[in-house]
Structure 1
């Protein structure tokens, strides 16, 4: 479906990026599947528009619905651009992580508030080819959105499992899990969890002026915890299945809160003071590619 033909999606305001084990979202009603073309290639999968928690929601499986895309190969820019094109203003990102701290047990959940980036093969910006922008990433997650997510998650956590508010997400390249030396290093830095996707999404979401928050679902103790068995795909998948149903409930409850509170975010005007290049100096092809993002500040681009 071409963007110009989409006429009913102006109220599709909440985006959900499903990670490992969460390839759809329970309770999504009146679903339409949309193929969105972007200047940055095809998204990971079709985008599913539906209703959840009293508002319109766009769901996308970041690895594809059959988990066919590695963390490095996820088309991050296409995914965020497509969500932005459908009017998404808030973005929730459930994802599997390893725990780097004793108190964060497998099947606990974390709503982090900081990142450390150890990736090295990712496109980290929409801006290049003659256009430069610098957005602030001091607080990479939206505090208001993260607060709602943590509150709803804490209310729904069953006995014996805990919601941790705040923490540092260590982003690694993958797809292999950490060495024991790496895991112990990241633990010594005070990092809370380790994952492979959220940092890249958060940086691009900030450039797209979308508020972003992560629901990090602990599946294991990475490999630093020598009294626990070494992390394996089987272990991860077993805990993912235990987390998936609860994550859907938390996302649905958070969607209901967002539908009534419409939380404000500094992310919603992140480009206002971030655009460095004068629009007259930007090549037409680049202006065209970035028009969806820069239109509020540079005006609608037309090369006719």
Structure 2
């Protein structure tokens, strides 16, 4: 099977240098327009698609990001593997600004975003016990090694609605829960990637200590942007190294991400809403026909 890598760039990562035959492509989805046009091309002989999560120029609040349209558009373009990059605050002393975290768990505290492709006449329940693809996450960690950045393998991301940063009381509460980093965009993105049967890895770029750390002031946007600029270079170097590590062909996912819907759809075939089935053609066509 041909591999196609999708990349969702977070704050500070708005493009990929070095793409051959690069072109910005308009993709229409049943869920509306994605955050922006999608940059398509090849890198290291492997087809790649890049989508800036907040749009070029950073025009979408976290709540306004059209998550369903973004995942649908990347799946519709044939992506098999999806790497998401995001900026985060640290909830741990040893996760310092400038560090990179290859995430493996999430706690979702968002409340104003559609979190599923299903509903309205077609019900499905996918497993999120292990919300990222372990194989793809390992490739991201290996691609980060040559950058010289401090890389943490594994971490729990606390997703808040935003756009405001957390209060000090909230920050300390999340630390007591055992969360490692805090951000605003990993959910429902990871949920939707699983429903779309995409291998998904999430790499967090630490920009600050949120507001819990007594030795650091409350989150300062200027400080965050300065660290973002450094982190963006590390993230781009990681992306550049992935084609060689992953290769141009792809076997079935050892984690089963590409078969997540095998036993998930609950609605009887004769009771499924036709309009809903039409919307699901890209993300769930394999099992819904």
The alignment's TM-score, normalised by the length of structure 1, stands at 0.91
Q: Does 1:209 align with 2:197?
A: yes
1:228 corresponds to which residue? Answer: 216
Say if 1:92 and 1:212, in contact at 8 Å, map to a contact too: yes
Q: Does 1:63 align with 2:54?
A: yes
Report the CA distance between 1:11 and its aligned residue: 5.0
**Misfit runs of 4+, over 6 Å:** none
Which of 20, 24, 45 does residue 15 from structure 2 map onto?
24
Cα distance per residue 1:54-111 (max 9 Å; x no partner): 2000000010011000000000000000000011110001110001000000000000
Q: How many residues matched?
A: 287
1:75 corresponds to which residue? Answer: 66
In angstroms, what is the RMSD of aligned CA positions?
A: 1.4
2:35 corresponds to which residue? Answer: 44
> Which segment is superposed worse, 282-291 or 126-135?
282-291
Which of 261, 275, 278 does residue 265 from structure 2 map onto?
275
Which of 74, 93, 102 does residue 93 from structure 2 map onto?
102
1:177 corresponds to which residue? Answer: 165
Q: Distance in 2 between matches of 1:60 and 1:17?
A: 5
Report the CA distance between 1:112 and its aligned residue: 1.0
Runs of 5+ consecutive residues of structure 1 not aligned to the other structure = 1-9, 300-304
Question: Secondary structure, in 3 states, of the residue corresponding to 2:62?
Answer: coil
Q: Distance in 2 between matches of 1:53 and 1:222?
A: 37
Q: Distance in 1 between matches of 2:266 and 2:283?
A: 14
Runs of 5+ consecutive residues of structure 2 not aligned to the other structure = none
Q: Distance in 1 between matches of 2:227 and 2:281?
A: 42
Which of 113, 119, 134 does residue 104 from structure 2 map onto?
113
Q: Distance in 2 between matches of 1:113 and 1:60?
A: 22
2:147 corresponds to which residue? Answer: 157
Report the CA distance between 1:256 and its aligned residue: 2.2
Say if 1:12 and 1:86, in contact at 8 Å, map to a contact too: no
The alignment's TM-score, normalised by the length of structure 2, stands at 0.96
